[in-house]
């Protein structure tokens, strides 16, 4: 009996998934032939953006020739199938090759939609779809200063990230009123835009491009329908996808009104023995543009060919969790409020830049949809609640509030999920599958991935899969390790000890010592924070630069219009008239918006990137230092005037505040740190709302810890009373170093204390009573940290190589002419910030 012959047209992710599924069954033997238009076999398009951060085509490959050959798969590259002969059951390629089939599977995918704009086919106009496209974009980037992405959806933002990685000034042009209009509601889209613009990417919504012509300052000029325009050197079109149905259409298969090959629940087309799967397929008038539904179709088609008629494709969940331009975004279910009777809970933290909206059914018992931007930790829980039709807690708002409380922990952990709960939709892995794998011996994410393939597709289920794994291991009596990520088999506090004991100074040394791979977005910033806290090295040293965020890279807080703040240190708020004059002169020369802050500093805003070294040279020459306003470090020490001037003052709070600020300046920590020093209990410095607050008494100093203002104010706890200056310094050294050692990255002292087992009493035992016998070590580490202090701006100005970083364009000294300001209250503001006031528009030349 001859083998059944299967021809697969298209060797993308879904086509390859079908082949993999088909051949995994040893009971049936097939002869498989697959065709690819591209010059390479299937690769991971979901991870395509990592091509710009160092991954190669080989890294992205899902298979190779040896695997296909070992499994008897014939493959043809760089040859497009152009004709389907259904009568003779044959396919014909562009080169004239003819292949017969018993079953034909069309996995032709989709193609990028390029709007019909005059001038859209010029040399430096690209699409973002294949590795070949990315290679072309890379070459174009070498000859460009400015890049534009047309389209603000998922792929558009990934393309924007590519331009950022290439060092181009980046713009995103979107026709809709907001970014990711399909996945996000108005609030989520607004915050996503704000966070992306904070990274220096300029976003233009409600813009329709009418033509692309030659530019005056750049290669091209994009003219918009509203009369405005934008100049750029390269353009990437990412305005959506269309099903690749040309072959099917010309061959007579039934096609949907708006495109797509019509399929039934078994992925069969209108012609017998012909199947369609993935983005080329239209099911119930719907195209599924994610990889997970394509994988489900591949599994259904393979089962049907094998004779299994029970498995069917009945639609797929389109929920997504992504990181776009470094911003966490998630969308679940119905997000636009069209479900009758649905109600919404919204949490919007403009300070921390977090937006969450939970939509529930009319009776408040079921999840209908959710939007999460900035903090997507609740994604796994909310998705499982919806997919498994589980009841919500009595107060559903706890699911999106910062402190969910005992209610969430008690009723909504992974233990509450049924075994049928789908954990990984890409590979159809359920909670029950993970339980079986753990029972069979899987004890790590690595072995679990090998066994079940969970989290090896899009990767969005990794956190939830790890939770299920840990839960099952605990149920079996195993100790669970809280590894920070796949690259380091250690918890954060263990990494701290490794760095300290082995005196590791760089991320590469850490990888060589105890890690694997290249690192990721979890371990890099975490280890970067630990290294900075322990060794206080120059933040722009070559070994550290890849670990830093935008603010540290440019030693200034990036503002919403792409300019930067300049904040010199003014210890204790005390400043001489001469230095005050210098601040005024600098602010006037560079036309900077100037403000006295609540932390007793002078902040100056509106500096362009190329101006930062010029400004700081003048400030440093006048005796100023960086105020570290851009870093997770000591920010300010606020003080009252104290006993020097105040008739109620008991101690010289200004002098003590200056001593403290000079001692701990430059100290890198998990989050920013603020001090307050009040000369008496009248508390004019508001010390009890600071991370460390000191209040003078007639017997010494009272020390308060772990307070903060902001979105979630917390009154500091009284830690010790009647301290001498010497004891206060010791306790502060110990407290800060213990916090640095044990807190998670981006965890304020207030949250750290709330999560510290034993709370304030345990903290007193460690710091005051030296319960752990580490006080001397903590003090020594603080002394070493202080010894390594340097003004990062002074070091940078003295290094010509580092100054090259402070240019708008890698290959040009041109300034950013796209910035525009207005004058109000005798100062300069970003153009859209002051309304209903007489204004003077300033255009940069």
DSSP-derived secondary structure for 415-446? GGS-TT-EEETTTTEEHHHHHHHHHTT--SHH
Please say whether the beta carbons of 229 and 199 come within 8 A.
no
pLDDT for position 292? 85
Query: What element of type H or E holds 578?
Result: helix 577-589
**One-letter-per-residue 3-state SS of 499-559:** HHHHCCCCHHHHHHHHECCCCCCCHHHHHHHHHHHHHCCCCCCCCCHHHCCHHHHCCCCEC
pLDDT for position 411? 37
Note the pLDDT tens digit of each residue in 94-110: 999 999 999 999 999 99
Q: Give the Å distances, CA to CA, from 536 to 204, 530, 787, 843.
A: 40, 10, 9, 41
Residue 375 has pLDDT above 90, yes or no: no
Note the pLDDT tens digit of each residue in 467-525: 888 888 888 888 776 777 878 888 887 888 888 888 888 888 888 889 888 887 778 87
For the chain, how big is the Rg over CA atoms in Å?
Answer: 30
Residues facing residue 204 across a β-bridge: 173
pLDDT for position 549? 65
Most confident of the ranges 468-472, 746-750, 766-770: 766-770
Percent of the chain at pLDDT exceeding 70? 93
Sheet harboring 90-93: ordered strands across? 81-85, 90-93, 98-100
> Exposed, middle or buried: residue 142 (CB in 10 Å: 0-12, 13-18, 19+)?
exposed
Question: In terms of DSSP H, where are the helices of 453-506?
Answer: 462-475, 492-502
In the structure encoding, which two tokens stand for residue 836, read together?
């209903």
Q: Taking residues 182-190, what's their average pLDDT?
A: 88
pLDDT for position 407? 35
* Mean pLDDT for all residues in the chain: 86
pLDDT for position 413? 64
Please say whether the beta carbons of 660 and 733 come within 8 A.
no
Spatial distance between the Cα atoms of 381 and 408, rounded to a whole number of angstroms: 10
In the structure encoding, which two tokens stand for residue 627, read together?
């105020």
CA atoms within 13 A on the CB side of 308: 13
pLDDT for position 643? 87
pLDDT for position 833? 46
Spatial distance between the Cα atoms of 151 and 178, rounded to a whole number of angstroms: 10
The SS3 call for residue 106 is strand
Most confident of the ranges 113-127, 313-327, 478-492, 584-598: 113-127
Q: Name which of 167-171, 576-580, 652-656, 804-808 the model is least confident about.
A: 804-808
Spatial distance between the Cα atoms of 5 and 89, rounded to a whole number of angstroms: 11
Q: Taking residues 305-331, what's their average pLDDT?
A: 86
Residue 352 has pLDDT above 80, yes or no: no
Q: Name which of 148-152, 406-410, 618-622 the model is least confident about.
A: 406-410
Q: Taking residues 263-267, what's their average pLDDT?
A: 97
Residue 811 has pLDDT above 70, yes or no: no
Residue 459 has pLDDT above 70, yes or no: no
In eight-state DSSP terms, residue 309 is -
Spatial distance between the Cα atoms of 510 and 500, rounded to a whole number of angstroms: 11
Please say whether the beta carbons of 233 and 147 come within 8 A.
yes
pLDDT for position 104? 98
Measured in degrees and rounded to the nearest 5, phi and psi for residue 669 equal -145, 175
Please say whether the beta carbons of 358 and 399 come within 8 A.
yes
In the structure encoding, which two tokens stand for residue 347, read together?
């949490």
Percent of the chain at pLDDT exceeding 90? 43
Strand duo 4-9 + 103-106: pairing:
parallel
Spatial distance between the Cα atoms of 623 and 640, rounded to a whole number of angstroms: 23
pLDDT band at 742 (very low <50, low <70, confident <90, very high): confident
User: Which residues make Cβ contacts (< 8 Å) with residue 353, sequence separation at least 6?
Assistant: 191, 194, 195, 198, 374
pLDDT for position 642? 87
User: Which residues make Cβ contacts (< 8 Å) with residue 535, sequence separation at least 6?
Assistant: 505, 785, 788
Residues facing residue 676 across a β-bridge: 638, 693
Write the DSSP assignment of 208-273 as a string of letters. Answer: -EEEEEE-SSSSEEEEETTS-EEEESEEEE-S-EEE--HHHHHHT--B-TTS-EEE-TT-B-SSTT
Q: Name which of 460-474, 587-601, 815-829 the model is least confident about.
A: 815-829
Sheet harboring 827-830: ordered strands across? 827-830, 820-824, 840-843
Determine the longest span between alpha carbons in the chain, in angstroms: 106
pLDDT for position 546? 66
In eight-state DSSP terms, residue 708 is B
pLDDT for position 839? 43
Per-residue b or e along 288-301, where b marks 16 or more CB atoms closer than 10 Å to that residue's CB: bbbbbbbbbbbbbb
pLDDT for position 370? 93
Please say whether the beta carbons of 652 and 664 come within 8 A.
no
Residue 404 has pLDDT above 60, yes or no: no
Residue 405 has pLDDT above 50, yes or no: no
pLDDT for position 27? 62
Most confident of the ranges 245-259, 483-497, 654-668, 775-789: 245-259
pLDDT for position 840? 47
pLDDT for position 836? 44
Residue 316: which of 542, 688, 14 has the closest Cα? 14
Residue 532: which of 520, 521, 544 has the closest Cα? 544
Query: What element of type H or E holds 621?
Result: helix 612-621
The SS3 call for residue 59 is helix
The SS3 call for residue 692 is strand
Residues facing residue 8 across a β-bridge: 34, 105
Residue 645 has pLDDT above 80, yes or no: yes
Q: Taking residues 409-438, what's their average pLDDT?
A: 77
pLDDT for position 303? 94
Residue 545 has pLDDT above 70, yes or no: no
Note the pLDDT tens digit of each residue in 786-801: 888 889 899 999 988 8
Q: Name which of 416-420, 672-676, 707-711 the model is least confident about.
A: 707-711
């Amino acid at each position: 009996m001859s083998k059944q012959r299967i021809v697969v047209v298209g060797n993308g992710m879904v086509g390859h998934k079908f082949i993999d599924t088909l051949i995994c069954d040893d009971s049936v033997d097939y002869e498989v032939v697959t065709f690819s238009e591209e010059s390479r076999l299937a690769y991971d398009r979901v991870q395509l953006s990592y091509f710009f951060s160092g991954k190669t085509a080989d890294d992205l490959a899902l298979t190779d020739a040896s695997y296909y050959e070992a499994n008897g798969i014939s493959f043809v590259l760089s040859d497009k199938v152009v004709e389907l002969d259904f009568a003779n059951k044959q396919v014909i390629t562009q080169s004239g090759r003819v292949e017969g089939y018993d079953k034909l599977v069309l996995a032709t995918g989709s193609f990028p939609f390029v709007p019909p704009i005059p001038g859209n086919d010029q040399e430096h106009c690209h699409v973002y779809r294949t590795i070949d496209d990315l290679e072309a974009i890379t070459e174009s980037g070498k000859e460009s200063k400015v890049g534009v992405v047309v389209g603000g959806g998922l792929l558009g933002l990934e393309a924007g990230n590519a331009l950022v990685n290439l060092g181009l000034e980046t713009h995103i042009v979107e026709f809709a009123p907001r970014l990711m209009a399909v996945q996000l509601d108005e609030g989520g889209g607004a915050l996503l835009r704000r966070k992306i613009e904070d990274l220096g990417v300029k976003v233009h919504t409600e813009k329709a491009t009418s033509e692309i012509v030659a530019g005056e300052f750049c290669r091209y000029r994009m003219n918009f329908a509203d009369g405005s325009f934008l100049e750029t050197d390269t353009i990437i079109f990412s305005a959506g996808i269309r099903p690749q149905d040309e072959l099917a259409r010309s061959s007579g298969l039934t096609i949907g009104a708006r495109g797509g090959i019509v399929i039934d629940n078994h992925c069969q087309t209108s012609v017998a023995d012909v199947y369609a799967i993935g983005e080329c397929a239209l099911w119930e008038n719907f195209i599924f543009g994610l990889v997970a539904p394509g994988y489900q179709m591949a599994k259904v088609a393979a089962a049907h060919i094998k004779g299994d008629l029970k498995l069917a494709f009945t639609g797929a969940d389109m929920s997504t969790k992504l990181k776009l331009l470094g911003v966490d975004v998630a969308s679940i279910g119905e997000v636009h409020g069209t479900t009758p009777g649905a109600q919404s809970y919204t949490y919007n933290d403009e300070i921390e830049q977090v937006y969450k909206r939970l939509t529930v059914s009319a009776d408040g018992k079921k999840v209908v949809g959710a939007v999460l931007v900035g903090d997507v930790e609740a994604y796994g829980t909310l998705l499982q609640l919806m997919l498994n039709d589980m009841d919500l807690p009595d107060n559903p708002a706890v699911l999106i509030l910062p402190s969910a409380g005992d209610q969430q922990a008690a009723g909504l952990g992974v233990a509450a999920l049924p075994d049928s709960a789908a954990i990984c939709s890409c590979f159809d892995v359920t909670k029950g599958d993970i339980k079986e794998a753990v029972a069979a011996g899987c004890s790590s994410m690595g072995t679990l991935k090998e066994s079940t393939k969970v989290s090896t597709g899009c990767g969005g289920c990794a956190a939830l899969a790890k939770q299920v794994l840990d839960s099952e291991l605990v149920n079996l009596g195993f100790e669970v390790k809280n590894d920070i990520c796949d690259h380091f088999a250690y918890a954060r506090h263990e990494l701290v000890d490794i760095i300290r004991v082995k005196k590791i100074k760089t991320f590469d040394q850490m990888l060589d010592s105890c890690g694997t791979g290249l690192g990721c977005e979890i371990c890099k910033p975490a280890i970067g924070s630990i290294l900075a806290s322990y060794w206080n090295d120059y933040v722009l040293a070559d070994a550290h630069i890849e670990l830093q965020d935008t603010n540290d890279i440019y030693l200034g807080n990036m503002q919403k219009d792409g300019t930067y703040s300049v904040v010199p240190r003014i210890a204790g708020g005390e400043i001489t008239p001469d230095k005050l004059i210098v601040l005024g002169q600098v602010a006037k020369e560079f036309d900077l918006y100037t403000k006295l802050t609540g932390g007793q500093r002078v902040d100056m805003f509106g500096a362009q990137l190329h101006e930062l070294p010029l400004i700081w040279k003048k400030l440093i020459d006048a005796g100023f230092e960086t105020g570290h306003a851009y870093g997770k470090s000591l920010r300010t020490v606020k003080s009252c005037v104290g006993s020097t001037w105040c008739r109620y003052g008991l101690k010289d709070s200004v002098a003590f505040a200056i001593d403290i600020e000079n001692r701990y300046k430059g100290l890198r920590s998990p989050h920013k740190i603020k001090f307050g020093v009040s000369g008496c209990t009248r508390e004019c410095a508001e010390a009890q709302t600071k991370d460390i607050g000191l209040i003078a008494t007639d017997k010494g100093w009272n020390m308060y810890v772990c307070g903060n203002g902001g979105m979630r104010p917390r009154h500091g706890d009284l830690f010790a009373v009647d301290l001498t200056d010497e004891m206060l310094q010791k306790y502060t050294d110990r407290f800060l170093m213990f916090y640095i050692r044990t807190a998670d990255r981006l965890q304020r002292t207030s949250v750290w204390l709330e999560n510290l087992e034993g709370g304030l009493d345990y903290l007193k035992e460690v710091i005051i009573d030296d319960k752990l016998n580490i006080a001397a070590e903590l003090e020594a580490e603080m002394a070493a940290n202080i010894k390594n202090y340097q003004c990062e701006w002074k070091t940078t100005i003295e290094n010509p190589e580092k100054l090259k970083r402070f240019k708008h364009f890698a290959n040009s000294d041109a300034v950013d002419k796209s910035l525009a300001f207005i004058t109000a209250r005798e100062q300069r503001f970003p153009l859209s910030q002051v309304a209903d006031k007489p204004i003077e528009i300033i255009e940069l030349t």
